[in-house]
Amino acid sequence: MTIAVGDKLPDVKIVKATAEGPEAVQSAEYFKGKKVALFSVPGAFTPTCSAKHLPGYVEKAADLKAKGIDEVACTAVNDPFVMKAWGAANGSSDVTMLADGNGDLAEALGLTMDGSGFGLGKRGQRFSMVVNDGVVEQLFVEAPGDFKVSSAEHMLENL
């Protein structure tokens, strides 16, 4: 079953990619007491993700925060070392990189995709959501191959 607006996020282990190294956190604890703009990409360093998705949120982080977002976070089914490197190469300190290395979060959200045809295996779909104190307030899931509704610009228009 796919997560929906009004649902509480499932509680799974995710890993923050920090300057000090990987920091395992439970999603319930991470999202508690704050409003988070969360976006998911199929993979770090992949073309659309690196050229458009992450850069859009980096560019619009201050605008999102001006509209009440406490934190901007990116997740992908990648390990925390890849997420840290991708954040260092293309991100900023304004975007928290969350590794979903085993795909537990994507699976629990019901938002997985099969990238086996491209040698990627099971990944998280491209989506964005606003999570307020652990509850989904807004959810935008892309159609396969699209990049429209999960963009930072679309999120800003809907806040």
**Is 49 one of the annotated active-site residues of the chain?**
yes
**φ and ψ of 96, to 5 deg:** -80, 130
Give Cβ neighbours of residue 145 (< 8 Å, ≥ 6 apart): none
CA torsion, ordered 149, 129, 53, 58, to nearest 10 deg: 130
Looking at 49, 97, 111, 136, which residue is catalytic?
49
**21, 102, 121 from 124: Cα distances, Å:** 23, 10, 10
What residues act catalytically? 49
